[in-house]
Chain A
Amino acid sequence: GAGVSQSPSNKVTEKGKDVELRCDPISGHTALYWYRQRLGQGLEFLIYFQGNSAPDKSGLPSDRFSAERTGESVSTLTIQRTQQEDSAVYLCASSRGLSYGELFFGEGSRLTVL
């Protein structure tokens, strides 16, 4: 498809397990973003990739969170030793660059930690 694709759409895991969330951006989009949205809350910035530059990791809440992106393609967000407070929808978005306009969002990965 032509949009941002995220998988899995839903993930239920037990506390202490590791999870990996995947984002496939729109082809040609150099920028890729991860946000976290807890129930009833706004979008919390996690990390931002721009081309081959070093990512801006300033929003990652702890060292249990990490993300990778290979070139301008797929990104994975990994959460190690999950905690109940990690339960949220994780949204990925991609863009050609803000001067060109908007971020395009995926449908999100809903993570539930029991």
Chain B
Amino acid sequence: QKEVEQNSGPLSVPEGAIASLNCTYSDRGSQSFFWYRQYSGKSPELIMSIYSNGDKEDGRFTAQLNKASQYVSLLIRDSQPSDSATYLCAVNTGNTDKLIFGTGTRLQVFP
């Protein structure tokens, strides 16, 4: 079982729709959860961080964390073509700052 799992996609959504990206993780001791966006040929950049169960909203983005079920998700409302990128889920291991990334989900937003 991989430590952090994501569906590779591509996930295709029309402009203006809600894109839902999911991630599961194996370490029950994980405490820090991140979503990064990576455009082709560029380095990853942080979208959201979340540390507690529940929802965290920032603009069009909402991160959701459920530690009991060991999943974290990212919702993108009013999706735009500029949101087309690969979204990487990252989770720390145990009580350390070692950060493991999933393989990423490619999102395509079409006009």
Contact = CB atoms under 8 A, between A and B. Distances in A.
Instruction: Report if A and B associate in a common complex.
Output: yes
- State the 4 A-B residue pairs at the shortest beta-carbon distance, nearest first: A42-B103, A102-B46, A105-B43, A43-B101
Contacts, number: 50
A98 B99 contact: yes
Contacts of A95: 97
Contact of B97 (A48, A58, A107, A108): A48
Interface in B94-111: 96-104
B97 A45 contact: no
Interface of B: 31-32, 34, 43-46, 49, 51, 88, 90, 92, 96-104
A35 B92 CA distance: 14
The number of chain A residues touching the other chain, given as a range, is 20 to 34
Interface of A: 31, 33, 35, 41-43, 45, 48, 50, 56, 58, 91, 95, 97-99, 101-103, 105-108
A98 B95 CA distance: 11
Contact of B100 (A45, A50, A91, A105): A45
Most buried by B among A35, A43, A95, A106: A43
